Structure 1
Amino acid sequence: MKTSIVSIAFALLFSTASFAQKAPAQNGYSITIDMQKTYSGKMYLSLYQGTYSKTAVIDSFVVSGSEATIKFDQPKRILGGIYQLSYQGDIKPDKNDKINIAVDNGAILHFTLIGPKLGALEIASSLNADYLYLQRVANDPASKKEKLQTLQKKYSTSIIALWATLELKKIASDELTANANKVQYRNNYFSNFNLQDKRLQILPNIYSALNDYMTILPVVDSNYQSNVDVLLKGMDCNTRNYTFYLDWIFKNIIYYQQKKLEKTYNYVYNRYLNSEDCKKADSTLYARITNELNRVVNTPIGSIIPSFKMSDSADNYYTIDSLKLNAPYSFIAFFDPDCPHCQEIMPKVSAFFAAANFKDSIQKIAFLNAPYDSAQWHSFIVKSKLEHWLNVKAYQNDTEYMIDLKLTGNPNFYLIDNTGKILLKSADGEMIKSVINKTGQN
């Protein structure tokens, strides 16, 4: 068994920071799973990273034979979190064959499992027994709310109480009436939270709770700016979790780019990030947002994309002004084959368009935003499955387009219509579908 720390976020797990919880007899955790009637395969222990859709494996255990005892041990102090167990065996499990467990510092957990299906996971200890039961009745709203309240009160110092409180907040938001004082509700949303509690960063529902908070009031510049002011009140760049919230806020503004929140992006940047203290606190975040600012503010949603020239590998000449007329929409991806994020995301973008039913309504353009290297360019096209896209590069090495489009890194994405209007600056599949459905040209 080998523990692998695959993300810098996992440094949070082994923090010595204290919180309102009785000191355990030991640090870390010891998780045992007695499996019976199983198949050869592998059990994974993963940590959530702010959302249910994003996990990273931190440990795994190879299972062989009809019975096995799985052990996950961590001797170092942890903050506590919601972990995911998943199992992959010779007989392929259901796609959703996974389950969550709550792990506090010092936890000693002994589960039993008959067969490879994790829905049958059992434990005698009350905390995770209650949590496992809640996951099995999650489709019953009334029962779910009651069980969440029980978890919140019964295990008030555990990570499960923090998770349950965020879940209850979202339920309360759904139950708001038309006559509710939403400003007051927004102001008090996090009033019973310690927003500096580092455990919040690794909960699977913190992103959705933050988004719930940001959408209590209509998403417009004035409301969003007030939301940020309330959330970050009393914090500065040296406050624990401050840059975590800022990073999420900037990403969320981009997510709602259709709402034209360029002024808000600029407001948050200048009021909460643009200082020497913040630059020192998180130089990577500062550099990324500073670079992104120009593109957000100077090529806003609804503006016309600047004219630029390009050519393909056969030196055929194009302009975006002529290409945009070929289809109702054009999706343009700027990439660098050496960019790790490009290597990760471009195959996913290609797969999305291959599976989406856009017919001929979207023209797909992949633009080499890097020094020309024929072999490297061709290799990237093949690996990313971009052979059916229009693959182009800068015309005669003219990089003026980078200045006009404010491109300071890779990748960059634009969805435009046949007038050249910028509709989206993202490769998010659901957002692309939403824009296409909204404008109705598909």
Structure 2
Amino acid sequence: MKHLLFIILCIPILQLPAQKTTKPAANAATATSGYNINVTVAPFKKCWLYMGCYYGKYKNLVDSVFVNENGSGTFKGKEKLPGGIYFMVSPSHTLLFDFLMDNKQQFSIKADTTRQDAVVITGSDENSLFQEYTQHLATKVPHLQQLQKELKDAKTKQDSTRIQDELTKGNKELNDYRDQIAKEHPDAMLTLFFNSMKRPEVPAAPKLSNGSIDSLYPARYMKEHYWDDVPFNDDRLLRTPFFDPKVDEYYKYYVSPEPDSVIAEVNYMLLYARESKDMFKYLLGKFTDKYINPEIMGQDKVFVFLFNNYFSKGDTTWLNAKQKEYIFNRAYSLMANQIGEQGAQLDLTDTSGKASPLYGVKAPFTFLVFWDPHCGHCKEQVPKVDSAYEASWKAMGVKVYAVNTDEQLLKDGKDLDKAIQDWKVFIREHNLNGWVHVYQPPKQRQQEVASNKAGFRQLYDVFQTPTMYLLDDQKRIIAKKLSLEQFTDLMKAKLKK
């Protein structure tokens, strides 16, 4: 189950502020504090307009105003708004146009929705520069978009080359225009955004000592310079539509998926952003969401690192009790079953009532499966495990240690007797022969609880069934929660190696 990032941050997405025709006097902005933004947006009259901002990959509405019969109204607030790219939203909740929010938050906006280039902002130097830039884009981007379409539909190599050359020239002109703005206005918010949007231009690859071209140089250069001039401690970057996708691109294409490599990158960003008000919170939430239940096996080690180095040290005071409980419980369920670590000992009881510990199984591979005879998915998957076992695993020396997780086994009396009987019937009917079948008796579980010891569910993160692990001859965890085909391929590869 995917646990979304904003279980932590709880950012509203296009959630409307409470509508009101007048604002309390306490919210009125003075000339030197808070915000006071006069708006007139044709053709809207006697209706609500909304102001919002980007927040990572989300959009968050921050205020509303009821415009009069002339289409005019004023957004007011006692506290200044965080800097970044904001937008105006229509009564039907469509985005109309973007503008900048800098430290000077007393200005006026006049716009006409029938003309995208007819946005006039007075009283804000940052927005004057931004409007100049957007008007320039309006003259260039349509042609570049048309060239992109033509390139896609090109019939000949000659046409493709010609169109690509035009595209390259047009993009260079845009980049040169941005560079000129940055040179003339080095401290402008727009310059910050330009620098943060840039992708490194890779120079020609050098030759190696043997005379061949260094083919790895472009990727290495991109990674080393990807974040040049990007200050992770500047919260304004968070309120843009381009920062979050750039982070995703970096981890997808330029960071090795190996957990230790990811940890180094994540930790660098978080330490850099730590002094910021919002960026640290956002990045920690983003990385927690990504690695708490990762798509790539073993990357939950990144989440365990985040827990040990940030969550458990009290850096996340904004979490409420429920959120903190979830984060802590998830971390405790992953700590003992990391790839490469020794699997926890299991001293369980077999179908005959005899002790049959996990570490008593001697084999080059031990396949550990937690299952419940009454679980629908287990009824489908466990026989497939046996098919794989009979087809090839047995010949590779694999031993299957199967743990029955049925909660009825924790109850004494008739419930326990029936649960054991159902278990044995399933084993017999599906010919699960040659396996080590075990369960945890009620008294053993009671003793664990009384002594505050972790049970097998926490030790092996067993909160859904079936849950499967592959252990080596020393009972180190070498794989978990893969498909049966992936488990088979991994064993074959290790034996071949």
2-structure distance, mates of 1:413, 1:246: 30
Rate the CA distance shift 1:221–1:100 in 2: closer, same or farther, 3 A.
Answer: same
Aligned partner of residue 65 in structure 2, secondary structure: strand
Equivalent residue in structure 2 for 1:60, among 61, 64, 78? 64
1:8-48 CA-to-partner distances (Å, cap 9, x unmatched) read 99xxxxxxxxxxxxxx9723333223233446643210122
Is 2:307 the counterpart of 1:307? no
Is 2:195 the counterpart of 1:157? no
Equivalent residue in structure 2 for 1:109, among 107, 110, 115? 107
Partner of 1:192: 229
CA contact (8 A) 2:288 2:303 kept: yes
Aligned partner of residue 26 in structure 1, secondary structure: coil
Equivalent residue in structure 2 for 1:128, among 110, 127, 130? 130
Please report how far the alpha carbon of residue 98 of structure 1 lies from its aligned counterpart in structure 2 after TM superposition.
2.9
2-structure distance, mates of 1:122, 1:414: 61
Letter of the 1:164 partner, please give it: F
Structure 1 gaps of 5+ residues are 1-5, 10-23, 310-316, 326-399, 425-442
Following TM superposition, the consecutive aligned residue runs of length 4 or more in structure 1 with deviations greater than 6 angstroms are 173-177, 234-240, 297-301, 412-416
Partner of 1:252: 290
1:388-424 CA-to-partner distances (Å, cap 9, x unmatched) read xxxxxxxxxxxx997698488xxx99999xxxx9579
Rate the CA distance shift 1:64–1:157 in 2: closer, same or farther, 3 A.
Answer: same
Aligned residue runs from structure 1 range 3-402, under 5 A? 26-38=32-44, 41-51=47-57, 54-63=58-67, 67-89=70-92, 97-115=95-113, 120-123=118-121, 126-133=128-135, 136=138, 137=140, 140=144, 141-142=171-172, 144-168=174-198, 171-172=199-200, 179-180=216-217, 182-183=219-220, 185-214=222-251, 215-232=253-270, 241-254=279-292, 257-258=295-296, 260-270=298-308, 272-273=309-310, 275-278=312-315, 287-294=325-332, 306-308=370-372, 319-322=376-379
1:341-371 CA-to-partner distances (Å, cap 9, x unmatched) read xxxxxxxxxxxxxxxxxxxxxxxxxxxxxxx
CA contact (8 A) 2:259 2:299 kept: yes
Please report how far the alpha carbon of residue 174 of structure 1 lies from its aligned counterpart in structure 2 after TM superposition.
9.2
RMSD of Structure 2 on Structure 1 (CA): 4.9
2-structure distance, mates of 1:126, 1:238: 27
Aligned partner of residue 320 in structure 1, secondary structure: helix
Structure 2 gaps of 5+ residues are 1-9, 14-29, 145-170, 206-214, 340-366, 383-454, 469-479, 484-497
Partner of 1:379: none
TM-score, normalization by structure 1: 0.53
Aligned partner of residue 133 in structure 1, secondary structure: helix
Please report how far the alpha carbon of residue 227 of structure 1 lies from its aligned counterpart in structure 2 after TM superposition.
1.6
2-structure distance, mates of 1:64, 1:217: 53
CA contact (8 A) 2:372 2:465 kept: no
Aligned partner of residue 64 in structure 2, secondary structure: strand
Q: How many residues align?
A: 307
2-structure distance, mates of 1:129, 1:199: 18
2-structure distance, mates of 1:173, 1:291: 45
2-structure distance, mates of 1:166, 1:253: 25
Letter of the 2:195 partner, please give it: T
Partner of 1:357: none
1:219-265 CA-to-partner distances (Å, cap 9, x unmatched) read 33243123234334578799985444322222233585236413333
1-structure distance, mates of 2:481, 2:141: 41
Rate the CA distance shift 1:299–1:153 in 2: closer, same or farther, 3 A.
Answer: farther
TM-score, normalization by structure 2: 0.48
The percent of aligned pairs where both chains have the same amino acid is 14
Please report how far the alpha carbon of residue 120 of structure 1 lies from its aligned counterpart in structure 2 after TM superposition.
4.3
Please report how far the alpha carbon of residue 207 of structure 1 lies from its aligned counterpart in structure 2 after TM superposition.
1.9
1-structure distance, mates of 2:96, 2:85: 13
Letter of the 1:98 partner, please give it: L
Rate the CA distance shift 1:252–1:68 in 2: closer, same or farther, 3 A.
Answer: same
Please report how far the alpha carbon of residue 102 of structure 1 lies from its aligned counterpart in structure 2 after TM superposition.
0.6
CA contact (8 A) 2:39 2:109 kept: yes
Please report how far the alpha carbon of residue 324 of structure 1 lies from its aligned counterpart in structure 2 after TM superposition.
6.1
2-structure distance, mates of 1:252, 1:148: 33
